[in-house]
Structure 1
Amino acid sequence: MRFAYPHQTKSISVTGSECEQNCAHCSGHYLKHMLPISAIKESHATSFLISGGCKADGTVPIGQHVSQLKAVKQGRRYNLHVGLIEEDEVAKIAEIADCVSFDFVGDDETIHEVFGLERSVSDYIQCYQKLREQVKVMPHICIGLHGGQIKGEYRAVELLQELGMDALTFIIFTPTRGTPYADCLPPNIEEVVKLLQWARETCPLVPIHLGCMRPGGRYRSEIDEWAVKIGIDTIVNPTPKAVALAKELGISILRSEECCVL
């Protein structure tokens, strides 16, 4: 089991704190703590998450910054979060991407309500397929994205099985102050555990990661311990109890200092 502590991966926003899409679960909140592209050149980090706010059509405008990003890469690795990228942009970002993190959604209503997009699951399928033709893609599924409800996550896993995947990252909806979903609750722990167990059994040969976004406190501690018991391959920033449990169970532990998809 790998425990990832991504100190060597810094987050970059190509749009600053601006986001046209203004999703119900984020509203641009997480962009505020990200660095500008100009910070890459002087950074001692070994890798970078390149992301940013979405345009109104659901794309993150990384393509227009490829030349600038290429110039400062200097042997470091890039994990790109591109949104619903258009086909002509895929070749551009393929020039610099070591990996692409792609949010995969399995429910049309969730796409409409959370993202405010008049798009469908088929759009996500097509985009995922186009990306896989040219770059390494790490699909991400947010458990409880629909305001804490589990809705479409099982279908998302099934679709990814059909389409093919090298690995799968789960994150968990976290209510965030100042967003439309601020007063929602995280998804029920028992339902999350059930989904993770099913995914592990359904995809026994696919490396499964529990990513950095998940609620804190007792919720996080309980989820992390279950992740150890279930046999999740990677946990990002695991709680001390989860680490202790892994050692108690005699699990061989690997430690990494970068984003779990790299």
Structure 2
Amino acid sequence: MGIAVFRLIARFSEVSLTGPHCALNCHHCRGKYLRHMLKPLPGSNGLYRLLEQLRQKGVRGVLLSGGLTREGLLPITENVVEQIWVAKRRLGMVFNLHPGFERRLDLLEQLVGAVDTLDYEFSLSREIVKGVRRLPIKPRDTAKILETLLEIGFDVVPHIFLWHPWGSSQLLREELRVADELGARMVTLLVYIPPPGDPKPDPARLVELLRLARSWWPRELSLGCMRPYDVKRVLDRAAIEEGLVDRIANPHQEVLRSYLDSVRAYDACCSLPEHVLGEFRIEPSQLLAPPRSLVRITLV
């Protein structure tokens, strides 16, 4: 069937529930990724009104994300849960949620059925959990949270770093092993983007790690959108040419042109489950469209 290629063009959008604000303010991000997302409109039903306007503009799915609290939680209230449910029922939208390291079982149970998949940052690295994220949990707690999310009934896609400065092939293998044993249907691999001035990863090393990951992971494997641009030409070509992943987000345009006739194309997030992807299928040539400008939403 060929590799599935994902890019956000017009049918899928991103919303930050917190706007550009994040209490963690990690050194490598500083909220810059949130600034490119839409934010809810003012008012108690601002999220729903935003989603309604997006749907009217042809958007069929949304990533619900945002900054995390110091406890590592996305600040979701019962009002937000209700608005998501209303949008699901009235608008028929597809939702991907970044829940952070959510431990509130009562809240999670209310979201089952409202969201179609969860993107979950899974790491057994103390440097990532305690150093980068500065979270009040232990690395092993991230595995417990993943297990809980799966047991509750969510479709969870663990996001695991293929590479970060404190990682190793042994750590990568252990994280994949745990995700496999817990029953995740797919894993998305990320490449840590170092802050300006810090050393960048070696593309050849990334290809080696990706080959190892492919040999260790038995189900669908995706190469997510977080990876430095400087490594994409080499890494993306190997990923597609060698069949090292089943899905890839935002491949290098030069590489994509070489394989355009053999890919399946989707205007969506790469984490979505197969049964909803039909709504987001596009012609491969549409992947070469100029970068989109963010949808401008005005009050009506």
Identity %: 28
CA-CA distance at 1:142 after TM superposition: 2.5
- The question of whether the paired residues in 1 share the 8 Å contact of 2:6 and 2:267 is answered with yes
Aligned equivalents of 1:143, 1:118: Cα separation in 2: 24
Which residues of 2 match residues 91-102 of structure 1 at below 5 A? Answer: 91-102=109-120
**1:202-243 alpha-carbon deviations (Å, 9 max, x no partner):** 12x4111111121114x2111110111331111112223323
CA-CA distance at 1:31 after TM superposition: 0.9
Structure 1 residues 139, 106: closer, same or farther in 2, change over 3 A?
same
- The question of whether the paired residues in 2 share the 8 Å contact of 1:196 and 1:230 is answered with no
Which residues of 2 match residues 177-256 of structure 1 at below 5 A? Answer: 181-203=195-217, 205-217=218-230, 219-231=231-243, 232-246=245-259, 252-256=262-266
Aligned counterpart in structure 1 of residue 87 of structure 2, from 72, 95, 100? 72
Gaps of 5+ in 2: 42-49, 273-300
Aligned counterpart in structure 2 of residue 131 of structure 1, from 149, 167, 171? 149
Say whether residues 1:81 and 2:83 are aligned partners.
no
Aligned equivalents of 2:117, 2:206: Cα separation in 1: 26
**1:75-131 alpha-carbon deviations (Å, 9 max, x no partner):** 010000001101232112224110000001021232111001132222111111111
Give the secondary-structure state (helix, strand or coil) at the position aligned to 1:160.
helix
Q: Indicate the residue corresponding to 2:19 in structure 1.
A: 16
Aligned counterpart in structure 2 of residue 142 of structure 1, from 161, 184, 198? 161
- The question of whether the paired residues in 2 share the 8 Å contact of 1:167 and 1:208 is answered with yes
Q: Indicate the residue corresponding to 1:4 in structure 2.
A: 6
- The question of whether the paired residues in 1 share the 8 Å contact of 2:124 and 2:140 is answered with no
Q: Indicate the residue corresponding to 1:121 in structure 2.
A: 139
- The question of whether the paired residues in 1 share the 8 Å contact of 2:127 and 2:166 is answered with no
**1:128-174 alpha-carbon deviations (Å, 9 max, x no partner):** 111112210011113334xx343433321122122221011112112
**1:177-209 alpha-carbon deviations (Å, 9 max, x no partner):** xxxx33223322222112210111112x41111
Q: Indicate the residue corresponding to 2:177 in structure 1.
A: 158
Structure 1 residues 141, 202: closer, same or farther in 2, change over 3 A?
same
Aligned equivalents of 2:180, 2:207: Cα separation in 1: 20
Aligned equivalents of 2:101, 2:77: Cα separation in 1: 12
CA-CA distance at 1:244 after TM superposition: 4.1
Give the secondary-structure state (helix, strand or coil) at the position aligned to 1:143.
strand
Segments of 4+ in structure 1 off by > 6 A? none
- The question of whether the paired residues in 2 share the 8 Å contact of 1:142 and 1:172 is answered with yes
User: One-letter code of the match for 1:98?
Assistant: D
Say whether residues 1:46 and 2:60 are aligned partners.
yes
Select the structure of larger CA radius of gyration: 2
Q: Which moved more, 1:136-145 or 1:95-104?
A: 136-145
Gaps of 5+ in 1: 176-180
User: One-letter code of the match for 1:122?
Assistant: R
Aligned counterpart in structure 2 of residue 56 of structure 1, from 70, 73, 90? 70
Q: CA RMSD in A?
A: 1.8
Give the secondary-structure state (helix, strand or coil) at the position aligned to 2:62.
strand
CA-CA distance at 1:245 after TM superposition: 4.2
**1:37-63 alpha-carbon deviations (Å, 9 max, x no partner):** 342210121100000100000111234
Aligned equivalents of 1:116, 1:216: Cα separation in 2: 26
Give the secondary-structure state (helix, strand or coil) at the position aligned to 1:85.
coil
Give the secondary-structure state (helix, strand or coil) at the position aligned to 2:154.
coil
Aligned equivalents of 1:33, 1:240: Cα separation in 2: 21
